[in-house]
Amino acid sequence: MQKRTLGTSGLAVSALGLGCMGMSFGLGPPADRQEMIALIRAAVERGVTFFDTAEVYGPFANEELVGEALAPVRNQVVIATKFGFHISPNGEQLGGLNSRPAHIRAVVEAALRRLRTDHIDLFYQHRVDPQVPIEEVAGTVKDLIQEGKVRHFGLSEAGVSNLRRAHAEQRVTALQSEYSLWWREPEAEILPVLDELGIGFVPFSPLGKGFLTGKIDETTTFAPNDFRNAVPRFAPENRKANLAVVELVRGIAAKKGATSAQVALAWVLAQKPWIVPIPGTTKLHRLDENLGAVAVELTPDDLSEIEHAIAQITVQGHRYAEGAQRMIDR
């Protein structure tokens, strides 16, 4: 497995990470725990060193899963988790955001226990809290870094102003936001600032929440507790219109002797050397398929062809429901 460094931070990780959320939260019923432990360990055996979780995934269940799975190889891997939602110690979601310093400190102590570790490699603010100055958030994480409980600070779905302000207080190692062939908004303002400041980029949903794999169409039904049911972009009429993106990827994949998922991931990897996507899966054969993307080379002509074709397509539907959209800092 190839390695990449997140910006100029010195934090080296596998070129593809593993997003663990869907193993226990958000995409239907939780998968079998022992099977997911085996899957995470299989990823380690294949060279994956970067694993993404968060307290809100469950809540807590996903951190506990990742902690158990990675305990035997803790010193070989980088674990990223997140704070910032208003969750009680017993897992009750109290609604909204909470990045007050005392809450961040409580979250880190609980996360360390669940992850079975004495430090968190990369600690993201999950969403910018408009009620707490970003300097206070960054300063609190700075203190946690000095105490050895956290190694690196990250932000998720933060805009340019908060990125700059946070980075001035404590180096931001990575920004995590959605990015894929069907969501390219970060290219306009975010990526240039990351390049300027030496901050790495960790795209979640690089496969368009599964849509770019070509396995979903307008007739696909999701489990009742699959969050895609509430995503406007996944309304049946929008899925039907958005299949134009899938057909584009499928055509490139056929020429490259690759799968659609591999081409979609290879495109993200080709954008910048400091980008590390974190596709998720609950299936071993999909893990192997995704990891194969690292070997797919898209030539300048391939990338130009994709760029020209995608410019002719208007993707339909917002990427979040209204409530979740209001938490995005742009």
Tell me how far apart the alpha carbons of residues 183 and 186 are, in angstroms, rounded to a whole number: 8
H or E element that contains 50? strand 50-52
Amino acid identity for residue 327 in this structure: M
List, as one string, the DSSP characters of 170-233. Answer: S-EEEEEEE-BTTB-GGGTTHHHHHHHHT-EEEEE-TTTTTGGGT---TT----TTBGGGG-GG
Provide the pairing of β-strand 150-156 with 3-5.
unpaired
How many Å separate Cα 247 from the centre of its chain? Answer: 24
**Location of structure tokens 């408009």:** 130
Active site residues: 57
Tell me how far apart the alpha carbons of residues 96 and 73 are, in angstroms, rounded to a whole number: 35
- Indicate the burial class of 194 (C-beta count within 10 angstroms; 0-12, 13-18, 19 or more): buried
- Indicate the burial class of 322 (C-beta count within 10 angstroms; 0-12, 13-18, 19 or more): exposed
Q: What angle do CA 95, 189, 307 make, to 5 degrees?
A: 110
Phi, psi of 42 (to 5 degrees): -65, -35
Collapsing DSSP states into helix, strand and coil, what is residue 178?
strand
Residue 178 CB: number of other CB atoms within 10 A? 20
